[in-house]
C-alpha cells in the first residue's frame, strides 16, 4: 500500500498539524516505510480472535459521587497561555 500526498494532507487536517509541501513529502516517505513494516500483521488470520482492549482484567471500580477537590479555578487557569479573568482566551470564533 502507499500513502500519497493527498492522504497526508487529509491526516494532517484530522491531526490539526499544519504541513507544507516539503514536510508532507518527508512524512509520506516515513509513513510508507512504517506501514510496509506494519503490513506484516496481514499474515495472521484473526477472524475468531477477541480484541484485547485492556490487559488489566478488572472491572472499573465505583466510588461515591462526592466532590473531593474544590475551588481549583486559579490552578486550572494558571498555565493557560492567554486568559481574561476567569476564562481561557482563543481567537475570535463568531463574526
Other beta carbons within 10 angstroms of residue 76's beta carbon come to: 11
Q: How many residues does the chain have?
A: 95
- Contact footprint for other proteins (CB under 8 A): 3, 7-8, 11-12, 14-19, 27, 30-31, 33-34, 37-44, 46, 49-56, 58, 60-61, 63, 72, 75-76, 78-82, 88, 90-93
The grid cell for 43 is 499474515
Q: How far apart are CA 13 and CA 8, in angstroms?
A: 9
Please state the closest distance from residue 85 (CB atom) to other proteins, in A.
Answer: 16
Contact 27, 5 (CB under 8 A): no
Distance of closest approach, residue 54 Cβ to other proteins, in angstroms: 6
- Nearest approach in angstroms of CB 49 to other proteins is 4
Q: Which of 42, 70 has the CB closer to other proteins? A: 42
Amino acid at each position: 500500500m502507499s500513502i500519497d500526498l493527498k492522504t497526508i494532507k487529509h491526516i494532517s487536517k484530522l491531526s490539526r498539524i499544519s504541513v507544507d509541501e516539503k514536510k508532507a513529502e518527508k512524512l509520506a516517505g516515513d509513513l510508507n516505510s512504517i506501514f510496509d513494516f506494519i503490513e506484516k500483521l496481514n499474515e495472521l488470520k484473526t477472524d475468531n480472535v477477541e480484541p484485547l482492549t485492556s490487559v488489566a482484567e478488572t472491572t472499573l471500580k465505583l466510588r461515591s459521587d462526592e466532590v473531593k477537590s474544590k475551588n481549583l479555578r486559579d490552578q486550572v487557569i494558571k498555565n493557560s497561555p492567554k486568559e481574561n479573568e476567569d476564562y481561557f482566551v482563543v481567537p475570535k470564533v463568531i463574526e
